[in-house]
Structure 1
Amino acid sequence: MNFPAQQPASAIGQATAIEMSRAEAEVKAAVFIAQQSPRNIQVAQQEMRFTCAQYAVAEKAFFSYPKAGQTISGPSIHLAREIALIWGNIQHGTMELSRDTALGQSEILAYAWDLQRNSRSSQIFIAPHVRDTKSGKKSLTDLRDVYENNANLGARRLREAIFAMLPDWYVAEAIEICQKTLDKGNGQSLEERVVEAVANYGRVGVTVKQLETKLGRPRGEWDEADASKLQIIFQSVSHGEMTRDEAFPPDHITAAEIHQQRQQKAPAKTADGDAPQPEVAEPPTS
């Protein structure tokens, strides 16, 4: 009995196969050049240490976002790109292979390739054109929204692909140095960092009370670790990794507080039980 030829999976189209073949041919051609100019590990390590000691790098080195009632944090795509550049002989990136507006999804490739060792980490994934909101999933139709959504999802896969190509000891040391740099601050005292953090959050509508709730202690007891945590969260909100309301749920007033506020605003009653009438000023005499 003859069976019909198996059709290729719709998730990976012809354009994807052509693009993968072209990209692979280009990288294979670059492998020879990379092997002729191998990286100097000692030099790369020294440059990494210097770079991670810079506050401008350390403040973007970590991410934080809520998931299933917990806070997920770790080294960011910014740190991955920075230390991959220093390590050398690595190509990485993301590429939108196809977009289906009818199905509301894009096909994206995220990859990292160590040309010197000829080792590659890549992933093709489907990015739905949707965004999670408090009222459920929202379909994205605006081109800018779709682009930002794809870039955000692609950056997460790219981060893992880059770290898969870098030695564990190299990444671990970079993370440790960045954390120490972040804890020290940018030459500011702890009080100055706290004032700056409160001001930054105030501009996006986050109150001191919300910050204190997040850290679990009053402002006067914040330490360097707390200031670093606030900096990481602020960067994550600025980069769109989580929204302000996800990081700091709005304050909810209780029924008792509403009743108390009404009592404070209500005029006091007189002995006969009636509220006093407002005084009317007499007209000035001429």
Structure 2
Amino acid sequence: MNEVTRIVNPMGGGVTEPTSRIGAVANTDQQRAIAEVQAAMMIARANPRNEVGAMDRILNACQRQGLAEAALYSYSRGGSEITGPSIRLAEALAQNWGNIQFGIREIEQRHGESVVQAFAWDVETNVRREMTFSVPHTRHTKRGSYKLEDPRDVYELVANNGSRRLRSCILAVIPGDVIDTAVQQCEATMRAKADTSPEALQKMVNAFAEFGVSQHQLEARIQRRFDTIQPAQIVALRKIYQSLRDNMSVPADWFDPAEGDAADEAKSTGNEAAKEALRKQTRARSPQSTETATPPAAAAGPSTSSEPVADGDRGDANDDRAEAVTLADALDQIDQATSPMDVNSRVSALLPGLTEEEGGVLRDRAVERIAKLKEAAK
């Protein structure tokens, strides 16, 4: 039987495999991305920004009271106050400066972490700043770490980390003098439109009360009665409130424990409860109880005085021992707080017995506890 002869393919020397569908889709996406970039650059160069008009738009935006109040943040580090433009002001600057693309994209999420990219690109000048970083889905403390399982917690963690880096990217592609002028305009707007009416002052007191800060503490901060507050002091308090709301600081960074009113009495009760719990934990860890311990006078030899030790002196000694607390004990006390005011009072009582690094960990835990209490109250 005769065999069928195969005709040689005139288009090539061998049999070729069909193009992979996945490769075709990837190539299409790549070509689309290139076309979008080229189109954006062409449109930006065809419609260059008018810097005078852009600056006018920025100044007009900063004259809006709503933006001005959220435009600046302030936090305390190393005993000094640091102030800067918030993410809200950075977004307003990018929108009004024009021809800028910015955003946050989650590249991938696997193995319990997210790879995220924040970017800002001035399409007209082709200046680009981007940051790629990993966000583990865990929360770390000195006592260890625990994994975040709730998708909402993961989303908020990624968004919080991304917004800070996005702010840095945006501010890197906008001229510094434009940013400084916008900050000055926002401060001028807050001073000019600072509402000192009784209703507005009461609204501010109620806002700070959510973080456990009383009116007496506010008055101690501004060194005057609250009904005589000046516009510049309202601006300063709004920066502090913005910092507390954005979890940049805790009330203990700004306010001393108050005395003399009902809130202070409740705060004092919280302090005593925290100290008493720490005394019990300290006694439980000691090898001998305070009742069976050898008196210092007996160990040193005959005493030259038969005067008994007063109960108050024993209490002071217990207070000294309680001050040398561990970070784990302090964190337990914060976790046991039942209200934002209780958290604030416990932080004030515990900070003196901790190092600066441990104090930072305690403040972070206090912020988390206040957020949980406020969420549970809704």
Q: TM-score, normalised by structure 2?
A: 0.54
Query: Is 1:76 equivalent to 2:82 in the alignment?
Result: no
Match of 2:232 in 1: 225
Deviation per CA, 1:195-236, whole angstroms, max 9, x where unpaired?
Answer: 3311222244321233345x2624346432221122122233
**Closer/same/farther in 2, CA of residues 86 and 37 from structure 1, 3 Å limit:** same
Deviation at 1:46, TM superposition (A): 1.2
Question: Amino acid of the residue matched to residue 219 of structure 1?
Answer: R
Paired residue for 2:138, among 115, 122, 130? 130
Report the Cα distance in structure 1 between the residues aligned to 2:79 and 2:114, rounded to whole angstroms. 28
Match of 1:182 in 2: 190
Report the Cα distance in structure 1 between the residues aligned to 2:245 and 2:49, rounded to whole angstroms. 35
**Closer/same/farther in 2, CA of residues 28 and 241 from structure 1, 3 Å limit:** farther
Question: Amino acid of the residue matched to residue 26 of structure 1?
Answer: E
Extract unaligned runs of 5+ from structure 1: 1-18, 259-286
Question: Amino acid of the residue matched to residue 73 of structure 1?
Answer: T
Match of 1:121 in 2: 129
Report the Cα distance in structure 1 between the residues aligned to 2:198 and 2:30, rounded to whole angstroms. 53
Report the Cα distance in structure 2 between the residues aligned to 1:32 and 1:205, rounded to whole angstroms. 54
Deviation at 1:167, TM superposition (A): 1.1
Match of 1:49 in 2: 59
Tell me if structure 2 keeps the 8 A contact 1:94–1:154: yes
Report the Cα distance in structure 1 between the residues aligned to 2:138 and 2:76, rounded to whole angstroms. 18
Question: Amino acid of the residue matched to residue 196 of structure 2?
Answer: S
Deviation at 1:110, TM superposition (A): 0.5
Extract unaligned runs of 5+ from structure 2: 1-28, 258-266, 276-378
**Closer/same/farther in 2, CA of residues 240 and 84 from structure 1, 3 Å limit:** same
Between Structure 1 and Structure 2, the one with more helix by share is 2
Q: TM-score, normalised by structure 1?
A: 0.70
Aligned to 2:135, what secondary structure does the other structure show?
strand
After TM superposition, the structure 1 = structure 2 runs for residues 127-206 of structure 1, keeping only pairs within 5 Å, are 127-131=135-139, 138-186=146-194, 188-189=195-196, 193-206=200-213
Match of 1:263 in 2: none
Report the Cα distance in structure 1 between the residues aligned to 2:83 and 2:137, rounded to whole angstroms. 24
Report the Cα distance in structure 2 between the residues aligned to 1:77 and 1:66, rounded to whole angstroms. 18
**Closer/same/farther in 2, CA of residues 135 and 23 from structure 1, 3 Å limit:** farther
Deviation at 1:153, TM superposition (A): 0.7
Q: How many residues align?
A: 236
Query: Is 1:211 equivalent to 2:218 in the alignment?
Result: yes
Aligned to 2:153, what secondary structure does the other structure show?
helix
Aligned to 1:59, what secondary structure does the other structure show?
helix
Identity of aligned residues (%): 36
Tell me if structure 2 keeps the 8 A contact 1:131–1:140: yes
Q: Which has the higher contact order (CA 8 A, sep 6+)?
A: 1
Report the Cα distance in structure 2 between the residues aligned to 1:184 and 1:199, rounded to whole angstroms. 22
Aligned to 2:103, what secondary structure does the other structure show?
strand
Aligned to 1:38, what secondary structure does the other structure show?
coil
Aligned to 2:166, what secondary structure does the other structure show?
helix
Question: Amino acid of the residue matched to residue 217 of structure 1?
Answer: Q
**Closer/same/farther in 2, CA of residues 125 and 252 from structure 1, 3 Å limit:** farther
Tell me if structure 2 keeps the 8 A contact 1:194–1:227: no
**Closer/same/farther in 2, CA of residues 245 and 136 from structure 1, 3 Å limit:** farther
**Closer/same/farther in 2, CA of residues 132 and 189 from structure 1, 3 Å limit:** farther
